[in-house]
Amino acid sequence: MSSDSSSLLKSHHCSTFTIKMAIEMTCPHCGRPYKFGDDKAGKKFRCKKCEKPVTVPESDPWAEDFSEDFSDIESGPAARPTRRKSASPKKRKKKRRQEYDGGVAIDTLVPAIFLYLCAFASIFFQAWGLVGSLAGPPPRPRNPNIDPQTLQMYIYLGMAISSFVWIGGGLVVAAGAYNLHRHFSRGWAMTGAILACIPVCGPLLGLSLPFGIWALIVMNLKDVRSRFD
């Protein structure tokens, strides 16, 4: 009788003991691995990575339970997936401009330096000549029939026009060189380079022509063109 009772107790104990199995799966949307107990089979949960609903499949591999990864989709409101705000085109271009490599910097810096030199030399010599003419004695007409004051007025008017053209052209070329090596405005850089190619209004009577052509060639390179605003 004792042996029968002990066997009955053992059978009752075995019948109440449950074998817990685990279900291994991966999210079909993003591939994140999960492990759940078999009691979660057929239920839905929301993936922690992609925030999309996933159904737990039925399986029977032996493993420990990782049910802490499980959150029932019906237990509460679903969290909205966070979206990154796309940067504006200006910010993207500014970032690309800050990340330019050394080769592109040299390609734009060297012609810009020569344009700087030509522009500032032209401004200096023109200003020097203007100051010297104004500080010197008034011009004397060779023809006695010409009024000295009228001649002086025409001379000063011509000097003012030439100074405006040459000094203004030098400033525009300098502004273009600045925008060229800093990769700011491509329009200003193109204007300065084109003006440097014109002997009539360019710096130093056309001596800046090769450097203006050089700058135009560099600015039309694909990797340089993409750095400008």
> pLDDT, tens digit, for every residue of 76-131?
455 455 555 555 655 555 555 444 444 447 889 999 999 999 999 989 988 888 88
Q: Looking at the chain, how many residues does it have? A: 229
Cα dist from 14 to 21, 38, 61, 62, 177, whole Å:
17, 19, 21, 19, 89
Look at residue 152 and tell me whether its pLDDT is greater than 60.
Answer: yes
Averaged over 205-226, what is the pLDDT?
Answer: 90
Pair 130, 159: CB distance under 8 Å: yes
> pLDDT, tens digit, for every residue of 155-212?
888 888 888 888 999 999 999 999 998 889 999 999 999 999 998 777 777 789 999 9
Instruction: Give the pLDDT of residue 151.
Output: 81
Q: What mean pLDDT is reported for the chain?
A: 75
Look at residue 68 and tell me whether its pLDDT is greater than 70.
Answer: no
Q: Which residue has the higher pLDDT, 95 or 218?
A: 218
Q: Give the residues across from 22 on adjacent strands.
A: 37
Q: Give the residues across from 46 on adjacent strands.
A: 53
Q: Say what the pTM is.
A: 0.52
158: left (phi over 0), alpha (psi -120 to 50) or beta: alpha
Cα dist from 158 to 22, 94, 137, 148, whole Å:
96, 44, 17, 15
Which of the 8 DSSP states describes residue 40? G
